Structure formats: structure tokens, C-alpha cells
Amino acid sequence: MVNLQLNQRLGGMNDVAYVTHYSALLSAIVNATHCPVVVDSSKYPTDLGVLLEQQRKLPPVFVVHLVRDCRAIVSAWKRKKQRLEIYWEHRLMPRYPTVVSAISWRMFNSHIRRLIERYQVPALVVRYEDFATDPSGVLETVLQTAQVEGGIQSSCVNGFRERCHPIGGNPDKLDFDFANIRSDLGWKDRLALSDRILVRLLAGRMQRAYGYN
């Protein structure tokens, strides 16, 4: 299993050209690695929309819709984190106010749900908290639902860190270890009551739809 993360906006190309290059990249990855499954961890709904619009030109697509408690997202976007890939100067990850984070969370998830419904693509919703509690079990469920033969292999999990080469973004990705996955509940102590109220007002209905009270 190979993971990649792309962003259609970075290339400045139209949708057809993007998907053409994307398809060629997938073929090259499969030929080089002999892995039958390629995981694209791009997080923008716009990227998913482009792929689904042009999916007839691609191998079968299965969407894993990963969600997390909006309150945790709000808290995370308030924290100070240094961008380690920018080694020549001290630069922090961007931070956003509660209103921006909550509305973005709601819009992102709404857009993904609409895309899945519009294109009738097979999909599975996975909560971050469930994955952090039982990563192997949730991953096994994902593979079974996506009809990936063989299931999860211990060799794949144990060797993930050695074959992981992130080059930017959240610094936590630079020191990832599958064996040490755990749920980050620090937001429960950090997030102010006023922020919790804003989240309830702006995203409460969708929060409840995903099982967050």
C-alpha cells in the first residue's frame, strides 16, 4: 500500500490535465512498487471533486471520509507549531480563530458528503477517535469495506515508518510511528468555554450527526 498527497491547486493546471498526470503517476507507482492500492491522503474536497468528476479515467475509487471532533480541530488550529521543513528560519504553522476553524470544518465535511452522494462513490466514514483507539481494527474494516484482498499485514504496519517520507506540513508527520498512535484529548483541558459554545452554535448539528455530543 502506497500513500501520496497531492493538491490540484499547486499545479495551476486544468482538471483534465491534472487527472491525466495523476493517472500516469498512479500507474508509475503501481509499476514501481507492485502495490495494488494507492492511498491519496489529500484533504481538500476540491481535489476529491476533480477526481470524481474524471473518475472514468482512473482506477476504481474508494473514499475514506475521516472526521474528528470539531472542538479538537478548533483547539489544534490555535496551537503554536513550528514548521520543521523550513529549517532556515523560525516559522509557525498558520493559526485560525474559532469561528474560521468551525465553519471550515462544517464546510469541508458537508462538501465531501455531497460529493459522495452526487457521484455515488463507495465510501466509509471513519472517526479519528475510533481509529486512534483501535488503529488496526479500523484499518481492517476499511480494507474489508473497500474489498482489498489480504487485509492488514503486520509487515506493512511495522515497516511503515521506514518507508514514510513526508516533506512538509504538520511536523507531527515527520515523526510518525504506527505503534504509538493514541487519541489526543488535550483539547478538553485547553479549549475555553466560549469556544465550545461557538462550536455548538456553528457546527453542533453536524457534530451530533457524527456522534459527538
Q: What is the pLDDT of residues 31-63, one digit of tens each?
A: 888 887 888 888 889 888 988 888 888 888 999
For the stretch 103-130, pLDDT in tens is 999 999 999 999 999 999 999 999 999 9
Domain around 5:
1-61
Q: Report the C-alpha gap between 206 and 43 in whole angstroms.
A: 18
Mean pLDDT of 195-211: 97
Do 128 and 160 lie in one domain? The reply is: yes
pLDDT of residue 2 exceeding 50, the answer is no
Give pLDDT, residue 208. Answer: 97
Do 77 and 49 lie in one domain? The reply is: no
Predicted structure pTM score: 0.80
Q: Looking at 61, 82, 108, which one is the last position of a domain?
A: 61
Do 49 and 1 lie in one domain? The reply is: yes
Instruction: Please provide the average confidence, as pLDDT, over all residues in the chain.
Output: 83
Element (H, E) at 25: helix 15-33
Q: Report the C-alpha gap between 40 and 50 in whole angstroms.
A: 13
For the stretch 151-199, pLDDT in tens is 666 445 544 545 555 545 555 555 556 667 778 889 999 999 999 999 9
Do 136 and 192 lie in one domain? The reply is: yes
Number of domains in the chain: 2
Beta-ladder partners of 67: 127
Q: Looking at 41, 61, 81, which one is the last position of a domain?
A: 61
Give pLDDT, residue 24. Answer: 87
Report residue 12 as a C-alpha cell. 495551476
Do 124 and 52 lie in one domain? The reply is: no
Residues 6+ apart with CB under 8 A from 179: 157, 158
Do 113 and 130 lie in one domain? The reply is: yes
Do 48 and 138 lie in one domain? The reply is: no
Q: Can you spell out the DSSP letters for 58-72?
A: SS---EEEEE--HHH
Q: Looking at 19, 44, 61, which one is the last position of a domain?
A: 61
Between residues 90 and 8, the one the model is more confident about: 90
> Crossing angle, helix 15-33 and helix 45-53, to 10 degrees?
90
- What confidence tier does 18 reach under pLDDT thresholds 50, 70, 90? confident
Q: Can you spell out the DSSP letters for 108-160?
A: HHHHHHHHHHHHT--EEEEEHHHHHH-HHHHHHHHHHHTT-TT---HHHHHTT
